Amino acid sequence: MQNSEVFILAIESSCDDTAAAVLHNDKVLSNVVANQLIHNQYGGVVPELASRAHQQNIVPVIDAALRKANVQKEQLSAIAFTQGPGLMGSLLVGSSFGKSLSLALNIPLIAVNHMHAHILAHFIDEEGYDKPEFPFLALTISGGHTQIVKVNSFFDMEIIGETTDDAVGEAFDKSAKILGLPYPGGPLIDKYAKEGNPKAFTFTKPKVPGLDFSFSGLKTAILYFIQKNKQENPNFIEENLNDICASIQHTIIEILMDKLKLAVKETGIKQIAIGGGVSANSGIRTTLKESEAKYGWKTFIPKFEYTTDNAAMIGIVGYQKYLSKRFEDSSVVSKARIQF
């Protein structure tokens, strides 16, 4: 088969979204995600419920992805699946399905590192979207990850900074919980922050050396701040919600920007690509765009559907691996933690 005729079916099931996508070379034909709303009532992802929901969703989601792409199973060149990192019970559903289908169709099986996929999502071919050039810096920010990665090529990347405790998405979600907002609270903080004063309240930023992050101290600072103010005024949250959210968001953005500035200084690389659910945050997007004029950076912010967990990003890595024949045999195993 010619390289110009590569069709990849990609499966992503590392956390609480069951996703499948079909790619024709580096173009996305379909990108289907079934979100698991069941977790919202528990205030976070319940692993046992996630794997059960994946089992229910996986067949209809893959079927929908093939139908939307108008691609027959027999046309597929390879199956790509998320090998890790993630929740073991969730990963197993996607990998078992992928293995079985590749055996049944007698086509190659490709294992994808979820974190590489968040970064390489920038190489999905989209009209009007410039791709970064190697080397570039990737800031991956989500409910499970916070990393700065130096990306030298498709398969050569190194983590130069990461969180030592909570991920930045957790900082948003846990702060929201303290304010009595439902899970996931990140998008709500973003919404209220738009109407608030980011300088209304100040929270101490963590002092972490080098390019690493820490967010657990911020969460504690916010908790004490709220407790103290509520003692004086029981309606403190309701009366100041917009300003509190704007101030929390402002602090988180400053923490991220301080480290990015340091990373640019240390590496001399001025191309910054972001990924992960938190990159949907409007404050982060605006601040990054402003950095282009302010610091001479070039920033890359992909379409929203490629920043949150999705299978198109697994498919683009699958396509690159297909071109260099990086295939697995059926003994490949899922990994909750995986070497970068």
Residues in contact with Zn ion by the rule CB under 5 A: 142, 309
Pick 77 or 142: Cβ nearer Zn ion: 142
Strand partners, 35: 17
- Which residues are registered as beta bridge partners of 10? 21, 80
Q: How far is the CB of 166 from ligand KG4 (least distance, A)?
A: 10
For the CB of residue 104, give the shortest distance to ligand KG4 in the complex, in Å. Answer: 30
- Binding to ligand KG4, residues 111-170 (CB under 6 A): 142-144, 169
- What's the half-sphere exposure (Cβ side, CA atoms, 13 Å) at 73? 11
Residue 132, CB half-sphere, CA atoms under 13 Å: how many?
A: 27
The answer to whether 7 and 75 have CB atoms below 8 angstroms apart is: yes
Q: Which two three-digit tokens encode residue 78?
A: 């390879």
Cα 66 to its chain centre, rounded Å, is 24
Type of residue at 319: Y
Instruction: Give alpha helix (H) positions in the chain.
Output: 47-69, 88-105, 114-120, 168-178, 186-193, 216-232, 236-267, 282-295, 312-323
Environment class of residue 313 by beta-carbon count within 10 Å: exposed (0-12), middle (13-18) or buried (19+)? buried
Contact string 10-49 vs ligand KG4 (x = CB under 6 A): -----x----------------------------------
State how far the Cα of 258 lies from the Cα of 266, in Å rounded to an integer: 12
Residue 66 within binding range of ligand KG4, rule CB under 6 A:
no
* Shortest Å, Cβ 76 to ligand KG4: 26
Number of residues near ligand KG4 (by CB under 6 A) = 18
Roughly how many angstroms between the first and final C-alpha of the chain, as a whole number?
31
Residue closer to Zn ion (CB basis): 166 or 309? 309
172 binds, among ligand KG4, Zn ion, none (CB under 5 to 8 A by kind): ligand KG4
Question: Taking the complex as a whole, how short is the minimal distance between the CB of residue 192 and ligand KG4, in angstroms?
Answer: 11
The answer to whether residue 302 forms part of the interface with ligand KG4 (CB under 6 A) is no
For ligand KG4, the closer of residues 15 and 244 by Cβ is: 15
145 labelled ligand-binding: no
What's the order of all strands across the beta sheet hosting 27-35? Answer: 27-35, 17-24, 7-12, 78-84, 109-113
Work out which of 85, 132, 186, 318 binds ligand KG4, going by CB under 6 A.
186
Q: Does 243 show up as a binding residue in the annotation?
A: no
287/210 Cα distance (integer angstroms): 22
Q: Which of 163, 165, 168 is nearest to 249 (CA)?
A: 168
Interacting span for ligand KG4 (CB under 6 A) from 51-59, 129-137, 147-155, 276-284:
276-284
> Which span (53-61, 238-246, 254-262, 278-286) binds ligand KG4, by CB under 6 A?
278-286
Question: Tokens 């992909």 correspond to what residue?
Answer: 302
Cβ nearer to ligand KG4, comparing 113 with 281 = 281
Q: Is 118 annotated as a binding residue?
A: yes
With CB under 6 A as the contact rule, the residue among 7, 97, 172, 192 that binds ligand KG4 is 172
Q: Which residues bind ligand KG4 (CB under 6 A)?
A: 15, 142-144, 169, 172-173, 184, 186-187, 190, 276-278, 280-281, 308-309
Task: Give the residue numbers of the binding site.
Answer: 114, 118, 140-144, 173, 186, 190, 281, 309
Task: Give the residue numbers of the binding site for substrate.
Answer: 140-144, 173, 186, 190, 281
Task: Give the residue numbers of the binding site for Fe cation.
Answer: 114, 118, 309
